[in-house]
Amino acid sequence: MCGIVGYVGNKNAQDFLVSGLKRLEYRGYDSAGIVTVSKNGEATLIRAKGKIVNLEEKIAKEKKDDKIGIGHTRWATHGEPSEANAHPHQAGSIYLVHNGIIENYKDLKETLKDFKFESDTDSEVLAALIDSFYDNGKHPLVNAVVQALKLVKGTYGIAVISKNNPEEIIVARAGSPLVIGVGKDETFLASDASALVGHTKRAIYLNDGEVARLTKDSIEIKTLNAEPVSAKVEEIETNLAAIQKGGYDHFLLKEIMEQPESLVETLRGRINAETGVVKLGGPGLTDTELRKIKHLIIVGCGTAYHAGLLAGYYIEQFTPEITIETVIASEYRYRQAYIPEDSIALIVSQSGETADTLACLREIKKQGVKTIGIVNAIGSTIAREVDGGTYVHVGPEISVASTKAFTSQVIAMVMFGITIAQAKGVRAGALKPYVDEIVKMPEEIRAVLNEVNDSMKTVAGNYKKYEHAIYLGRGTAYPTAMEGALKLKEVSYIDANAYAFGELKHGPLALVDDRFFEMVLLPEGELYEKAVSNVQEVLARGGHVVIITNSDEFDLEVENVVKITTSLKLFAPILMNLVSQLFAYYMTVAKGYNVDQPRNLAKSVTVE
Ligand code: G6P
């Protein structure tokens, strides 16, 4: 969603701002803008609807060598995507960029009768409010910002500069992340550390309720109540290669293909192939605490939710005396759900910033339930607020559609489940098949990707003309089918829905006709025969069936069989999901859509 960048130093601010905004493009946006201020207080505000190239074209006509500025990519919430609604917003001598939502903006607007509003945004109201306290430089800008924020209800990450003092940027955060990059005679700002990579490795993550005054050689952080904060400088681990396409046409394909390596990172130091023992340091639970667990709540949105569903199917197979409930964060936060004693909550999020997931985390914590993060983005809000956690360590995921994170989230949760089972005294022999397959999985993933990559291009091409798809599976193949359908719809815009095969006769079978194709995940195992019968039911109604299977037995006449060769039995559905990922990718390429930034979507959904 919206992105923020800022710069104060001795270099050209426009250059950093544009390159920083480009790094944040993956988050999803529909307009962009920057403002820079010269030494003698002349501001250059440039905004454009649409992609950053549009902004760059305008900047090329107004090139400046200013040394301070702020920039923004906007994902519309209040007001349509347009130049007037794009940030930065100006009010008097100040300029503001804002991520988040000002909930009481209408009430605040009422108090600003003299201000001539030019946009429909809540953010412009905040700019006007700050300006009213700033009173054209009669008060320090930082004080004006604090006074205004004390009246605000909602979420924000903001950066503010003034023409009166082009040496300082004031930033503040409540619910929307901001990272300050510490340089030599220069200070950077971004809503996501990836914009800082290559400029500095030293970062300060601002906390909620903090305000900072940035100059090129100082960073002063206080709370809104004026208590000084001693900031912790942390190292940014990401490197440039991790945020570049590395020879691939799209990040989505790169991230699908990276899975053999990214999963190795998830497993590193956590699983002993010889003894079969899994050890996770991050959750910080003793064996006694693990033994006591009776209930797991798994919370996530989108792909993270599907990862939780799939992990739940596995964990209950080998962990005795446990119930598992996987919930959609945006629903769960408003339910009156009872959480039984001896529960643990797994909070699953690639970005660690998803607003609904974060809200659930806070609600669950209030009830005294221990929370464990299954998070990718290091230093993210969820990672910082959970009681303990296991980072999945897959590196930056840039494409909006989540792929490598899914695989590693499932396995990280299964490993957590194994630690519970170990503590509960489950024999090593019973857990061994799971551990053995997890250890082998990175190489099995590599083999399957090689095996099916070329053929998926052709298979996807065959189904380009369809507008509807039904994904079907049983057991562990069912949540996997849900994830496959999500992948297809989010990038190729084909209307795709997943059903548990057993539900077919309760409704979806009525859909089968020439407008639909059916993607069937058919792993070997005890449900195989039942699923084959279901396939026959679809074929009997003239279905256009594609089968993804690891079985050599399948002999029905269907339009396409994608056979994967693997020694994995329990986790074969995870390998089938690679096929779904590639299918969605090649379908989108065939249709000529924007692969990495699908319309209307954002990588990190930081508003409700
Ligand atoms: C967005 C992304 C999805 C992601 C979901 C949850 O919708 O486009 O790919 O699965 O948010 O994100 P999280 O960062 O919490 O895993």
> To test the ligand 1 pocket, which listed residue (26, 27, 301, 407) has its Cβ within 8 A of the most ligand atoms?
301
Residue nearest to atom 8 of ligand 1 (CA): 603
Q: Write the DSSP string, 408-422.
A: HHHHHHHHHHHHHHH
- Is 161 within 8 Å of 70 (Cβ atoms)? yes
The mean per-residue pLDDT over the stretch 280-296 comes to: 96
- What average pLDDT does range 443-456 have in this prediction? 97
pLDDT at 271: 94
The DSSP bridge pattern shows strands 545-549 and 560-563 to be parallel
**Which residues are CB-contacts of 557 (< 8 A; sequence separation ≥ 6)?**
539
Q: Cβ contacts of residue 214 below 8 Å, gap of 6+?
A: 6, 8, 168, 169, 170, 171, 180, 187, 189
- Two tokens at 131? 């300006």
The confidence score (pLDDT) of residue 209 equals 95
With beta carbons less than 8 A apart as the criterion, state whether 105 and 117 touch: no
> Is the pLDDT reported for residue 576 higher than 90?
yes
pLDDT at res. 244: 87
Catalytic residue among 2, 67, 404, 489: 2
Q: What percent of the chain is modeled with pLDDT above 90?
A: 90
Place of tokens 């700050």: 130
> How far apart are the C-alpha atoms of 240 and 579, rounded to whole Å?
28
User: Does the annotation count 603 as an active-site position?
Assistant: yes
- Of the listed ranges 204-213, 231-240, 483-492, the one predicted with least confidence: 231-240
Q: Mutation test of ligand 1: which of 483, 487, 605, 608 has the most ligand atoms closer than 8 Å to its C-beta?
A: 605
pLDDT at position 510:
95
Q: Which CATH architecture has domain 251-591?
A: 3-Layer(aba) Sandwich (3.40)
For 191-219, how does the pLDDT look when each residue is reduced to its tens digit (9 = 90+)? 989 899 999 999 999 999 999 999 999 99
Could you tell me which residues come within 8 angstroms of residue 285 by beta carbon, excluding any fewer than 6 positions away? Answer: 344, 370, 372, 388, 419
- What average pLDDT does this structure show over 454-476? 96
> What are the extents of the domains in the chain?
2-243, 251-591
| Beta pairing partners, 472 | 499, 520
Tokens (6 digits) for 169:
């940027």
Distance between CA atoms of residues 591 and 588, nearest Å: 5
Strands 234-235 and 169-174: unpaired
Element (H, E) at 528: helix 528-540
Asked if the bond preceding 88 is cis, omega within 30° of 0, the reply is: yes
Q: Any residues with Cβ below 6 Å from ligand 1, and which? A: 301-304, 349-351, 354, 357, 400-402, 601, 603-605
Indicate the pLDDT class of residue 1, thresholds 50, 70 and 90.
confident
DSSP state of 271: B
Under 8 Å between Cβ of 156 and 116: no
Q: What is the pLDDT of residue 604?
A: 85
For 514-552, write each residue's pLDDT tens digit. Answer: 999 999 999 999 999 999 999 999 999 999 999 999 999
Domain 2-243, CATH = 3.60.20.10
Mean pLDDT of the chain: 95
Q: How far is the CA of 527 from the centre of ligand 1 (A)?
A: 31
Relative to beta strand 202-205, strand 234-235 is antiparallel
List % helix, strand, coil for the chain (3-state, nearest 5): 40, 25, 40
Give the model's pLDDT for residue 551. Answer: 96
